[in-house]
Amino acid sequence: MSNNIVAIVGRPNVGKSTLFNRLIQRREAIVDSVSGVTRDRNYGKSEWNGKEFSVIDTGGYVRGSDDVFEGEIRKQVELAIDEADVIIFVVDVEEGITPMDETVAKLLRKVTKPVLLAVNKVDNAMREKDAIEFYNLGLGDYFTFASISGSGTGDLLDALIEAFPEKPEVEVKEDLPRFAVVGRPNAGKSSFINALIGKDRYIVTDIAGTTRDAIDTKFDRFGFEFNLVDTAGIRRKAKVKEDLEFYSVMRSVRAIEHADICILVIDATRGFEGQDQSIFWLAEKNRKGVVILVNKWDLVEKDTMSTRDYEEKIKKELMPFTDVPILFVSALTKQRLLKALEATVQVYENRKQRIATSKFNEYMLKVIEAYPPPATKGKYVKIKYCMQLPTQTPQFVFFANMPQYVKEPYKRYLENKIREKWDFAGVPIDIYIREK
């Protein structure tokens, strides 16, 4: 499980994205990556020397005049300082120290978090000498590398994992599910949480999470018991504007990675926007259960078809993963909040259910016999055995004589048939085809 977030910061065109791309292309270092977690952001789950961490590229957002550049860069760096555990500050040896570099360095000198100064485009001995100039930024030692060739990135990553703060594991006696409330700013996350907890705050205990900004609130009410991971109102929003999409996504990264189920709260008056989709796919990519709550439904003008039409629009954006509970609620009037809890608990049960191998084979082999994989180049694929893998999330393996000829459309067919027979609503399913 990833406990650390690394943010790559710096002014435009110094090679931040190139460094990020080099990291995610390193086969031995990368577990998974998602391009475009927000409109123009990159998020990757990486591993180096046995330590897993999340990397976020903050580049590509700034545009316009020099003044706008500086203002946007300042917001990006302040955000990284607020949310990340380690910061990689990338500079360009070809251009030397620029006023914008000095602005970023001034912000970074004030923080106590580890900052790694990475001098890019150092690919020969002459440029190694030129890099000495960056001592003037007042950030101590620096690391030289060339993001295009990859030279020096190993030393940088070695220093990176050494800089990770020690995070002692918190012992939680109750083995309770963890439900994270996620969504973009002003969708109603805080209102939803307060409506659940109530004015008297029905809190048994506050448990500091494995990350510094994810706080577990033990919820024990209405016959439900779980840890509620609050991503709303924990961190101050100073100097971070609502339209800075990266803000909510960066906070959501931690909460999603450490949760069992994600409750995605969206604003009914604004619709299922790009940022909502980004957070949804972030949860799906991390193989978490998802429940979508359309909040502020009391503010929407409705007719008899409104709910169905709204739900269809959302599912169209979620294709092909459309088997997701969607509930229309109002945190203000407490409309359908109990149903939302019931749906979330059900998704949690769906995620951990186990299907007996005999029952699974009995059903799925008949399904496969009725519609076998299409023949490829005159070769017929035969599947004779299947089973659910003993993993935390639902994963199924089908053993075939020629697995290379089973394409994605047929895997989706198998997944749909599994969902028809067993309730896996809100839960991503993995299908593997292996040689028998």
Over residues 34-47, the pLDDT tens digits come to 433 333 346 667 77
Quick one: tokens of 170? 């918190």
Note whether residue 12 is domain-resident.
yes
Q: Are residues 186 and 135 in the same domain?
A: no
CATH number at residue 321: 3.40.50.300
311 burial level (CB within 10 Å; 0-12, 13-18, 19+) = middle
Residues 187-234 have pLDDT tens digits of 888 788 878 876 434 333 333 333 334 456 777 777 788 888 766 533
- Residue ending a domain, among 163, 193, 215, is 163
**Residue positions forming the annotated binding site:** 10-17, 57-61, 120-123, 183-190, 230-234, 295-298
pLDDT at 243: 36
255/229 Cα distance (integer angstroms): 7
pLDDT at 340: 92
Strand, coil or helix: 116: strand
Q: Which residue has the tokens 């594991």?
A: 169
From first to last of its 436 residues, the chain has per-residue pLDDT tens of: 446 888 888 877 788 878 887 776 543 333 344 433 333 346 667 778 878 788 877 654 343 445 555 566 666 667 667 778 899 999 989 888 888 888 888 888 888 889 999 998 888 877 888 888 899 888 889 999 887 777 888 888 899 989 888 765 544 445 788 898 888 777 888 788 878 876 434 333 333 333 334 456 777 777 788 888 766 533 334 434 433 445 556 666 767 877 899 999 999 998 888 878 888 888 898 899 999 999 999 888 877 778 899 999 999 998 888 899 999 999 888 889 989 999 999 999 999 999 999 999 999 999 999 999 988 888 889 999 999 999 989 999 999 998 898 899 999 999 999 999 999 999 999 999 998 7
- Residue ending a domain, among 351, 384, 403, is 351
**Residue positions forming the annotated binding site for GTP:** 10-17, 57-61, 120-123, 183-190, 230-234, 295-298
Question: SS3 string of 236-247?
Answer: CCCCCCCCCCHH
Note whether residue 367 is domain-resident.
yes
pTM of the entire predicted model = 0.65
* CA triple 251-260-78, angle to 5 deg: 10
Question: Residue 130's domain spans which residues?
Answer: 4-163
Q: Are residues 16 and 148 in the same domain?
A: yes
pLDDT at 106: 87
257/303 Cα distance (integer angstroms): 38
Which one-letter DSSP state was computed for residue 163? Answer: H
Note whether residue 171 is domain-resident.
no
Note whether residue 410 is domain-resident.
yes
Which one-letter DSSP state was computed for residue 134? Answer: G
379/56 Cα distance (integer angstroms): 44
Q: How many domains does the chain have?
A: 3
Going from the C-alpha of 432 to that of each of 7, 373, 381, 436, the distances in angstroms are 33, 14, 14, 12
Q: Are residues 184 and 332 in the same domain?
A: yes
- DSSP string of 51-111? EEEEEEE-TT---SSHHHHHHHHHHHHHHHHHH-SEEEEEEETTT---HHHHHHHHHHTT-
Note whether residue 148 is domain-resident.
yes
Note whether residue 51 is domain-resident.
yes
Going from the C-alpha of 113 to that of each of 48, 81, 143, 157, 162, the distances in angstroms are 20, 8, 17, 16, 13
Q: Are strands 289-295 and 326-328 parallel, antiparallel or unpaired?
A: parallel
